[in-house]
Structure 1
Amino acid sequence: METMRHPTGAASAWDDSATRVAWKKLFNFAVAGQILWPAVCVGAFVLMILVGQWSMWIMLPVVVYALYRSFLQRRYIVAAAQARRILQVYPWQTHKSPESGIGQIPGAKLGDVWLAFPNPDRSDDAVRVILHGHAGSAWWRRRLGRGYESEKSAQVAEIWFAGDPRFAGVIAVPGPERLFLLYQLVTPNARADGGRGASPEALELARRAGVRVSA
């Protein structure tokens, strides 16, 4: 896996104007969904009442799905806010064809897609990060971990990463586009870095990026 510092050489990803534009798109999409989905839910419910009982079979699934997305949308807003803090601390790195897979690693469920990035303190140690599932990960999950070349996998032949894979990070395709938040799940009584011996400097960067670390 080939890794290099982003060619702009910016101190942080946030210093790149294109990154700020991409993040604003991510945040605006999340906020728009928080307005749209409750409106769809209420509108479908009202229409179901006005039209009559026969429309229930059509409108009820719409109401249920819109209600589900209304509750889920808060996660998009929180994720966007977390992504911004990470982008303000870490620079972009470019990764050519990073290792990825589906399942078969500790902590991964059947069908979980993961990516591997080098440990910042030990370049020979690959740290795997699971793309925790929700609607926003669908685009990435359809293109990673297949183990064979395809038109879709070619779209992620180069991935930008800002963060520390032992804690959290943001991935994107060149541009950047398709920003997506990655994070490690920390179980009780486990080290925040998964036992990989993060240096004091790495821990301090993670704290500045909003990651809770106990080490």
Structure 2
Amino acid sequence: MPPTQHLTAWEDPATRRAWTKLVICAIACQILWPVAWMGLLAWYVVMSITWTLWFFFVPMLYSFYRAFLQPRYIIGAFRTRRLLRHYPWQVHETPESGVGNIPGVRAGYTWLRFPDPEAPGQLVTMVMHSHVRSVWWGGRLGRRATPERKAQVREIWFAGDPRFAAVIAAPGPRRLYVIHQLSSYNWAIPAEAAGATPQALDRARRAGVHVPDPHSAASGTPGM
């Protein structure tokens, strides 16, 4: 079970260790993938007149792709920390989930549903919009997942607000992943913010989510 005695997930030492591993890996790969790409490119140029170039072409393209993608891992790591600093861990046993096949979710995208914290009995759908770190989750939440894989996500740790953004994790915590509403990290106002209290909006803002100013919302003045 998660450390529910803590006011926020960040107060748990195991959570801080998991995040430290996450950010170290993200920063190290930001260095290693470009180096790998440059090395493979140099080798490709040197060996371009031989048949061995085909062994380097695909790894070279993949390392270039990862070097280009890696900054998103770093951004995700620091979004993770902000959310963990403001929300406690909760446990959700076998939450409703799937891959595509519901209105509003594109084919191939993994989704989960969590309870609305201010509307008991109502569920909020959250979609894994980014494929960064989502492959592991998608392979265990879809209908085609084997029983052994499904068992790994039967219990999901959750720190956040499903109307905005949250960190989900396998018990431990492991496999930290930021799942969020599509508008939560751009300047559009999330539709889910309409029924949120000023306290919930303020907490989400402090956790790094772009939502209306809770003080303006309380006074009826449009937020910035």
Do the two structures share a fold, i.e. TM-score over 0.5? yes
Matched residues in 2 for 1:150 and 1:40: separation? 37
Partner of 1:155: 152
Q: Percent of counterpart pairs with the same letter?
A: 48
Flag the 1:14–1:30 CA change in 2: closer, same or farther, 3 A. Answer: same
Secondary structure in structure 1 of the residue aligned to 2:175: strand
Map 1:135-150 → 2, pairs under 5 A: 135-146=132-143, 150=147
Over 3 Å counting, the alpha-carbon distance change for 1:99 and 1:20 in structure 2 is: same
The structure-2 alpha-carbon separation of the partners of 1:34 and 1:139, relative to structure 1 and needing over 3 Å to count, comes to: same
Change (3 A) 1:142 1:75: same
Say which structure, 1 or 2, has more relative contact order (CA 8 Å, 6+ apart).
1
In structure 2, relative to structure 1, the CA distance for the partners of 1:16 and 1:52 (3 Å cut) is same
CA deviations 1:116-152 (Å, max 9, x no partner) are 1111111211001011232411100000031776110
Using structure 1 for the length normalisation, give the TM-score: 0.91
Task: Identify the structure with the greater strand proportion.
Answer: 1
AA in 1 matched with 2:84: L
For residues 28 and 106 of structure 1, the distance between their equivalents in structure 2, rounded to whole angstroms, comes to 38
Deviation at 1:52, TM superposition (A): 3.5
Contact kept, 8 Å, 2:189 with 2:210, in 1: the verdict is no
How far 1:61 sits from its partner (Å)?
2.0
Return 77-86 or 181-190, whichever deviates more.
181-190
User: Which sits farther off after the overlay, 8-17 or 48-57?
Assistant: 48-57
Q: For residues 104 and 196 of structure 1, what CA distance do their matches in structure 2 show?
A: 26
1:22-65 CA distance string (max 9 Å, x none) = 00111111111101110110110111122332233222222221
Q: Does 1:116 align with 2:127?
A: no
- Aligned amino acid, residue 145 of structure 1: G
Take 1:135 and 1:200, find their aligned partners in 2: how far apart are those partners?
Answer: 31
Aligned residues: 211
- CA distance 1:147–1:56, shift in 2 (3 Å): closer
**Would the aligned equivalents of 2:4 and 2:90 in 1 still touch at CA under 8 Å?**
no
1:36 corresponds, among 32, 37, 57, to: 32
Q: How far off its partner does 1:190 sit?
A: 6.3
- Residue 187 of structure 2 contacts residue 210 of structure 2 at CA under 8 Å; is this kept in 1? no
The equivalent of 1:198 in structure 2 is 196
Q: Per-residue deviation at 1:194?
A: 2.5
Worse-matched range after superposition: 99-108 or 29-38? 99-108
Contact 1:6–1:91 (CA<8 Å) still a contact in 2? no
CA RMSD between the two structures:
2.1
Matched AA of 1:179: L
